[in-house]
């Protein structure tokens, strides 16, 4: 009985009609891929299975042997071995598959010469190959094509004259460990009457195993707050200004950087008073292959009041100053008769007679975050101070 094992195969279409005139269906052989590859899984090898599917085979189909050819992209897929277990090729006496002679081709055959045993049959794959994705960490895909498949002449199942293919898909999987976080060293900035410029430190914490080479920071509030510049603490980072409040940061080192400590210099552009204006990032855009999928951030609240006399929590005076969770008023000269505190609604929240008190302490622990006024009575005079509970 003649055996044919040719690397280049011509398959002729056979149109067979039954007695009723119906066309017999023909199966299109194709490559089946077992999984979608996580492109960002750089910790462990990314393994996948490529299998050749020819549909269900009956015992009467007389499957005794075949040869095949498969084309793939060796820059993205590395073939490791063939897998005959639990396939139609498991009980063939001879098997030989080579993927080393041609860097982009699998060539091989499987057959049996023992006709004392029944042919291979069942609803199983023909043969499988273990492989590894080496295409990098970008979202990508790669086609694996079945370019040749020829059976021994005993084989009776009718196959299509065209051969199918399979596609390996690679993409970053959603993972909470692939989210960057942005924090500030301040929660709130208070600007006094003649103050417009301010600085704060921004920390960008990136997930492990990121592949960041460039990222873009785009701040909001362009008409209200201008970011004058960003200074990184690392010498491996270069910062370029793209547009107003838009900066490009480049990692010039060969290593992955997980923490970016940045000094942000900014100025408030308006003369108006403002309360709790949020300064934050509209966009953090990473290079396509960064494996950083999203980011969380803290907003910085900007406050300015042109009527400030004193901002006690930022600047102390000789008489009144802030000490942790309380405001301390010096009365060593016994000139103060009374101290009263009001909130912005004019409601009195503190009243203390200060006769013979060398020091008056006002606890701020229970106060809400807001603006407050301190009235200090000295004889027939009243001194007024303003402070923030931050």
CATH code at position 146: 2.60.40.680
Give the full edge-to-edge strand order of the sheet including 326-330.
Answer: 320-323, 326-330, 359-363
Choose one of 171, 190, 217: the last residue of a domain: 171
Q: Residue 266 has what pLDDT?
A: 95
Q: Residue 4 has what pLDDT?
A: 38
325 and 240 co-located in one domain:
no
191 and 281 co-located in one domain:
yes
Q: Residue 166 has what pLDDT?
A: 95
Is 313 part of any domain? no
Q: Residue 249 has what pLDDT?
A: 94
182 and 71 co-located in one domain:
no
Residue 275 vs residue 143, higher pLDDT:
143
pLDDT tens digits for range 157-182: 999 989 999 999 998 888 888 889 99
Provide the domain count of the chain: 3
Question: What is the rounded CA–CA span in Å between residue 305 and residue 272?
Answer: 8
- pLDDT band at 23, cuts 50/70/90? very low
Question: What is the rounded CA–CA span in Å between residue 12 and residue 184?
Answer: 70
Q: Residue 284 has what pLDDT?
A: 85
Give per-residue burial for 301-339: e unless 16+ CB within 10 Å, then b: bbbbbeebebbbebeeeebbebeeeebbbebeeeebbeb
Choose one of 155, 171, 187: the last residue of a domain: 171
Question: What is the rounded CA–CA span in Å between residue 90 and residue 42?
Answer: 33
Q: Residue 2 has what pLDDT?
A: 36
Residue 337 vs residue 272, higher pLDDT:
337
Choose one of 274, 304, 334: the last residue of a domain: 304
Mean residue pLDDT across the chain? 83
34 and 167 co-located in one domain:
yes
Is 23 part of any domain? no
Give the full edge-to-edge strand order of the sheet including 274-279.
Answer: 188-191, 300-304, 274-279
The CATH number assigned to the domain holding 337 equals: 2.60.40.3080
The least confident of 21-35, 174-188, 206-220, 241-255 is 21-35
Tell me the residue range of the domain where 164 lies: 30-171
pLDDT tens digits for range 68-89: 999 999 999 999 999 999 999 9
């Amino acid at each position: 009985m003649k055996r044919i094992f040719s690397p280049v195969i011509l398959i002729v279409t056979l149109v067979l009609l039954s007695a009723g005139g119906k066309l017999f269906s023909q199966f299109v052989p194709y490559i089946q891929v077992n999984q979608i590859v996580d492109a960002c899984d750089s910790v462990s090898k990314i393994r996948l299975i490529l299998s050749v599917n020819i549909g269900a085979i009956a015992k009467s189909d007389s499957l005794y042997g075949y040869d095949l050819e498969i084309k793939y992209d060796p820059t993205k897929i590395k073939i490791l071995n063939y897998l005959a277990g639990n396939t139609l090729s498991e009980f063939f006496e001879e098997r030989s598959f080579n993927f080393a002679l041609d860097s982009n081709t699998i060539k091989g055959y499987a057959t049996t010469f023992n006709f004392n045993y029944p042919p291979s049959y069942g609803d199983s794959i023909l043969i499988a190959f273990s492989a590894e994705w080496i295409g990098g960490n970008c979202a990508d895909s790669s086609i694996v094509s079945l370019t040749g498949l020829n059976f021994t002449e005993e084989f009776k199942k009718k196959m299509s004259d065209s051969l199918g293919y399979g596609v390996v898909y690679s993409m970053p999987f959603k993972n909470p460990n692939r989210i960057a976080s942005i924090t500030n060293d301040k929660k709130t900035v208070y600007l006094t009457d003649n103050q417009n410029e301010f600085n704060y430190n921004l920390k960008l914490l990136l997930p492990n195993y990121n592949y960041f080479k460039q990222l873009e920071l785009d701040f909001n509030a362009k008409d209200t707050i201008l970011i004058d510049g960003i200074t990184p603490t690392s010498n491996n980072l270069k910062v370029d200004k793209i547009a107003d409040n838009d900066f490009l940061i480049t990692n010039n080192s060969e290593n992955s950087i997980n923490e970016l400590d940045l000094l942000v210099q900014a100025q408030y552009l308006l003369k108006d008073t403002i309360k709790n204006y949020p300064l934050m990032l509209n966009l953090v855009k990473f290079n396509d292959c960064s494996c950083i999928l999203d980011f969380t951030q803290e907003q910085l609240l900007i406050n300015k009041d042109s009527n400030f006399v004193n901002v006690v929590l930022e600047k102390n005076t000789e008489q009144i100053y802030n000490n942790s969770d309380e405001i301390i008023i010096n009365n060593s000269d016994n000139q103060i008769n009374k101290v009263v505190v009001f909130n912005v609604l004019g409601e009195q929240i503190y009243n203390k007679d200060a006769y013979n008190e060398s020091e008056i302490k006002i606890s701020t622990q229970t106060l809400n975050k807001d603006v407050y006024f301190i009235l200090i009575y000295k004889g027939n005079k009243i001194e007024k101070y303003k402070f923030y509970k931050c």
